[in-house]
Structure 1
Amino acid sequence: MTTPHHPRQNHLLAALPDAEFERLLPHLGLVPMPLAEVLYESGAQLQYVYFPTSAIVSLQYVMENGSSAEIAGVGNEGVVGISLFMGGDTTPSRAIVHTAGYGYRLKAKLLLEEFNRIGGRRAGVLQHLLLRYTQALMTQTSQTAVCNRHHSVDQQLCRWLLLTLDRLPSNELTITQELIASMLGVRREGVTEAAGKLQRDGLIRYSRGHIEVLDRAGLESRVCECYSVVKIEIKRLLTDVAAV
């Protein structure tokens, strides 16, 4: 049976106290987020923010020659469009869906009104929550840069797979090697070789853009420390944040 959609399936929205959540609820629109949909391009003015529930969005930096690399991923733990409440209307990154699913869309103006709301016993909870998430996203961005510079493609692929699995209800994902290579900023041949090693060792099964993880513990034994750094920081910053 298909699980009914609800905004609380996004962890940030789930962490909001009832009063703040009820103010946002009438303005949250459920939207499909198909594979490869571009939510915004580099330099574009943000009209909406997105709270993914089952989709995963890749934040990518795009070079002048058109090549790109992922700087962070956003799933049901977060929000797409942090530059809006950080003081800017645009961002130098592109946001593109790399795992199809659903999410909730909120007009930028409404988020800013709630972000800047003052007065009341629980004033500033959403602001505090979004700022803590921003710190977690900055950690992910920094760790991705370090990982891409110092660790092998095998380790990068393991990190990416594990972070993706953490945001999904199953151990399967649909994505091409070309898209993975684009996000990691490496040649497709490098991803093919790395995925081949993982498949020969029985950790994954890959076929025609479909990846099934067979041995998660095996991936965790091969991944670099970057995965645990990001996972621990997200958990630390977002656990029971609404009670702070």
Structure 2
Amino acid sequence: MMPHANAILASLSASDAAALRPHLKPTHLQQKTVLYEAGDTIDSVYFPLGAVVSLVVTLATGETTEAAMVGRDGAVGMASALDGRVAMSRAIVQLGGDAMVCDPAAFSGAALQSQSLISRIMRHEQTLFAQAQQSTACMANHEVDARLCRWMLRARDLSGSDQLPFTQEFLAEMLGVRRTSVTTVARTLQEAGLIKYTRGKIEIRDVEGLREGACECYETVKEQHRHLLGELPSTN
């Protein structure tokens, strides 16, 4: 897959693209790989092509909740590479896939020479902050079934696939709920014909039905991205 499948790379000016191109290397991110923990030094900037990465908050008691999801719409570790290089949350590969990876020093050097790239980085960080805020409101106010519909649609948008290899345990961790809650909702969605669920794998069968069942946060996050960074590049 070519780098232009990533929205950030696709938006670069010719000069910015030329500055970064020698430093971009293709890689494959395996599902469940932890790219870094909160407090870790950022040693790579990732531009997902097919992979999807969750930015996760972990409590001292071990509970985890996803704050934001990044795929071909953005990058992981981009702002941290500019100053301090310290991760503020855990980054775990939610869906395995291809990505481009860049050395943080090389990325920082290119960015500090380009006002347009700095501006792009700032807008990207705004989208992540907006996602985290929306996730907080979503957890406090929306039911698990609506949140699960939203989450699956978002994962589908970023991966470009109707096949989502998720266990119920992983879904429960990302949503910050009990596994039994995910089991109940998944069964209901399957009985309604919206998904087909087998152990460790979800197949989305009715996208419009999921959209009707999702909370408003799905469209809100999409609109925030459109406003700040534009439309996602086509997967065709």
Same fold per superposition (TM over 0.5): yes
Picking from 16, 19, 36, the partner of 2:12 is 16
Q: Distance in 2 between matches of 1:168 and 1:82?
A: 20
Preserved contact between residue 25 and residue 102 of structure 2 (Cα < 8 Å): yes
Identity %: 39
Residue-by-residue CA offset, 1:166-187 (whole Å, 9 max, x unaligned): 1122211111110010011111
**Residue matched to 2:206:** 215
**Residue matched to 1:126:** 117
**Residue matched to 1:120:** none
Structure 1 residues 1-244: aligned runs within 5 Å: 5-85=1-81, 87-117=83-113, 123-239=114-230
Q: Distance in 2 between matches of 1:239 and 1:97?
A: 24
Preserved contact between residue 203 and residue 219 of structure 1 (Cα < 8 Å): yes
Residue-by-residue CA offset, 1:35-63 (whole Å, 9 max, x unaligned): 10010111111111100000000100111
Preserved contact between residue 147 and residue 156 of structure 1 (Cα < 8 Å): yes
RMSD: 1.3
Residue identity in the other structure for 2:66: E
Q: Which runs of 5+ in 2 are unaligned?
A: 232-236
- Three-state SS of the structure 1 residue aligned to 2:159 is coil
- The count of residues paired between Structure 1 and Structure 2 equals 231
Residue identity in the other structure for 2:91: A
Residue identity in the other structure for 1:8: H
- Three-state SS of the structure 2 residue aligned to 1:167 is helix
Q: Distance in 2 between matches of 1:10 and 1:198?
A: 31
Q: Distance in 2 between matches of 1:43 and 1:83?
A: 14
Residue identity in the other structure for 2:209: G
Q: Distance in 1 between matches of 2:153 and 2:161?
A: 12
